[in-house]
Structure 1
């Protein structure tokens, strides 16, 4: 690993997840020195706990946050609006592995869906054609199954119930992937051992993460200075408005400043706008890169819900991969269903501890114990679809509540859009039909969990007044400031976002390298 001096102006990357970890590798392998500031610890596969609650405590971002809004998460989990990871590799160490692409029409949401009342829809400044070659590169890096000749994962029982139901109700587009978990050895990673516990940390390393692939490879270049347990608190700039450094707190709480030639913010859609807002100055009184007033706005978390079906015979959904299949038929845009956009259905298994916590928060008594008694006979799926961006759904600074360092915590406000509600109800009905077709004795609809797909808040836009960054993820207001995570997504689309975040980061890294070669950065 490199040791870079604090006064050496290099590329500073804040966060090491799908966006930040990818940026670090793409730049260092091309000879660009980088410092990565990661708020969490550097956990290795040997460190991972194979126990649901122990793993949650070990990996989850549990710093204080506050919430408001009509979404049920504010009632059930008021200080845990998001279920993400605080560790090297970020939430790629916790993700399910699903890697669908955003579809062409979803890049043109405003054009495709028209004016949806209450939604702040905008077309992306890029198209699927622009991102397609980077999707190819991202799929090859991740090792997505069903892509580029990669074999499929085997079907587990949860998938067999799911797929048989899909076939019987007439769905045509269902499969065991694409997923970022190896079905056979690939790229130095082994094949899945179907252990049923790679959702929170994969000790076998068959599932891709930047902690397994990009960060170790970047370290081997000798160009990366990785600083875990270092929390960025302010981005500074010079008199011309260019960023020139990042102030951060180390594990002991000591304040340092790293000089910067370029800054790439990849802290996720809650921490990234929080950092920009905390970086306000006389030149940027409303927050860094916030002349549009859009920093923190248009927070999306995907329309989600879950369905757990009970059967007379054992399913043992926990055997095999946690997520092991996708139905894509409802991902289309068909306004005749009563909503804009579409959704996927994906197999899901939770262990007894998590199922008890999330299946119906706050429930107790006979209805609750019946669900838990049926655990062995239960099949599960997650419903995930496009939610509508709304300006009022936003991240702000809570000046009433401070974190351990005395800094304002992020406040997350979210209201479901009527389109989200209509889509969720349609998804629940689809789940009922799928499981009913294979003989379920009952299906329970679980409300949304804390958010795992945090999107928007620093969105891409063609015009500076409509967003925060341009088509390369570069801030409209600051020529050497980039945002490199899911917060740049103009709209959410239906697809799980990790593949898109990686593809965008690869594309952004290529642009930064070109700008450096011509002296623009």
Structure 2
């Protein structure tokens, strides 16, 4: 439940900032702006949970999607691979996967925290154009963002140690790497046999006490679950309590924003939302920051179309909702002779970044990283549904014996790869389906570029090689196919210097609306290598500095 001691602002009081979303970016922006003395209201569509509210209930979390908004959230999204198809809702899965709760998806993420490298920001200049894509350089460099990566390390809390291929850093990690688990040790064994360079995985999970927070208790319920001890470095556990303590920030949960209103001067002055009872409310604001995620942010802009902005608010470029990127993934599974007990502790303790950069010798774009982990967090029901080898029928005695034997002996090697920005992959408003509030459902159109599929296949083959080199008695994988859902929602309101090909400038201000700022995964220009959350947080620290400076200079 919400902190009742927090400040409460009147709806008709024009606060300095309304922030939409309280996740990886929104939580940081709330802390930074309120700490600088600005009045801040955060509107979050999910409830205000605390660490005591999180459970290991696999049915509730993994199947009923309690943190994702449940069945109502699934019904409010539709998916299609191509514009010629009719988009439909999926009965069991959200095409755009994100948590609806204070702290957003930082509450239920796995916690892999890779920094981008220098190449991630200027690949277009290095590699040239790629046909059929909107491949472009970022308007900022790694060196500009590095101080903010360091702030994420120390203020949010990241455990790790530098690896052989990491980008330069100005300060060491605040806490050491997490203890290696069986999957990490086996990945390291296989990598060294193949002449590769494994390294401890940097994770947003505390290995030691830090900033007054307790370390990990190794319960094994990281991916998809909230952390009941606060060791996972979500904004809920880190910056949101500090924002509330400032006395200048109100977190208003169960508040679903549906429209931004523009005044005669062309600025946003009102944020419309549904409250917990479904009643229409309005919050007056001097400026608005959208940090709702790479699906909900463009949806809100499209829903805020008006005579002044007929194609959607801030969409003179036509780039709102375009260039959706998911990141690619490939999976290889293996069974070993000895018990691994990989269901214990965090997901990932070792990674490989030898194939991080795009290599022209492969004949296609793409790169990424490899990690080792349990399958589906190794939660028992999910493992029983998908853990058996493909040569074992999914019922009967043989099936039960395979599950009983493999559960403690099985691991997964995951490839995490790039995705290319394309017009055909986008967020739009569905003309047929509605959500529980009567809004047009969020429609995703997505089909991976051929290069995305090729690099995922490359990593699938490498993962099988690693599994064999690690000594697996049996290994298998599944064909790489076009994705139909994603938890990494990137690129749909990209930043850039050119107002004709981007939505916000390099300081996250809308090119069209002076008092509108956008900072979340939608700001990305390229996808990175499969782990975007740390970069979202670094961008939020950087954006907060520029937004606060503009506000103090009366330039909003």
Which residue is equivalent to 2:169?
A: none
SS at match of 1:209: coil
Give the secondary structure class of the aligned counterpart of 1:261.
coil
User: TM (normalized to structure 1)?
Assistant: 0.95
Alpha carbons of 1:77 and 1:445: their partners in 2 closer, same or farther (altered >3 Å)?
farther
> Which range moved further: 309-318 or 467-476?
309-318
- Is 2:380 the counterpart of 1:352? yes
Q: 1:91 to 1:436 in 2, by over 3 A?
A: same
Cα distance, 1:207 vs. partner? Answer: 1.2
Whether 1:8 aligns to 2:40 is: no
* Partner residue, 2:450: 418
1:431 and 2:431 matched: no
Mark the CA change 1:377 to 1:360 in structure 2 (over 3 Å): closer, same or farther: closer
- How far is 1:516 from its partner? 1.2
Distance in 2 (alpha carbons) for counterparts of 1:138 and 1:58: 28
Q: Does residue 263 in structure 1 map to residue 279 in structure 2? A: no
1:177 aligns with 2:183: no
**2:48 aligned residue (42, 45, 48):** 42
1:17 aligns with 2:23: yes
TM-score of the superposed pair, with normalisation by structure 2: 0.89
**Equivalent residue, structure 1, for 2:529:** 494
Residue 98 of structure 1 aligns with which residue? 112
Contact 1:396-1:411 within 8 A present in 2 as well: yes
Using the TM superposition, give the Cα deviation of residue 322 of structure 1 relative to its aligned residue in structure 2, in angstroms: 1.8
Distance 1:127 1:360 in 2: 45
Alignment of 1:236-385 (within 5 A): 236-349=261-374, 350=376, 351-357=379-385, 365-366=393-394, 369=399, 372-373=403-404, 374-385=406-417
CA distance in 2, matches of 1:205, 1:430: 35
Residues 121, 491 of structure 1: 8 Å contact kept: yes
Q: CA deviation at 1:78?
A: 7.7
Higher alpha-carbon deviation: 98-107 or 363-372: 363-372
Question: Which stretch has the larger CA shift, 457-466 or 376-385?
Answer: 376-385
Residues 31-54 of structure 1: CA distance to partner in whole angstroms, max 9, x if unpaired? Answer: 111000000011111111213232
1:397 matched to 2:429: yes
**What is the CA deviation profile of residues 95-114 of structure 1, one whole-angstrom value per residue up to 9, with x for unaligned ones?**
11111111111111211221
CA contact (8 A) 1:470 1:476 kept: yes
Unpaired runs of 5+ residues, structure 2, are 1-5, 162-171
Structure 2 residue matching 1:135: 3-state secondary structure = helix
Question: Within 1, Cα distance between the matches of 2:267 and 2:157?
Answer: 38
Match of 1:58 in 2: 66
Asked whether 1:452 is paired with 2:487, we answer yes
Partner of 2:168: none
CA RMSD of aligned residues (A): 2.3
Secondary structure of 2:106's partner?
helix
**1:149 positional shift:** 4.7
Secondary structure of the 2:19 match is strand
* Partner Cα separation in structure 2 for residue 55 and residue 49 of structure 1: 8
Cα shift at 1:315: 1.6
| Secondary structure in 2 matching 1:241 | coil
Cα deviation code 1:215-263 (max 9, x no counterpart): 1111111111111000000011111211111100001000011011110
Asked whether 1:189 is paired with 2:217, we answer: no
Aligned to 2:135: 121
Unmatched segments (≥5 aa) in structure 1: none
Aligned partners of 1:134, 1:481: CA distance in 2, in Å? Answer: 22
Evaluate the alpha carbon distance shift between residue 66 and residue 383 of structure 1 in structure 2; reply closer, same or farther with a 3 A threshold: same
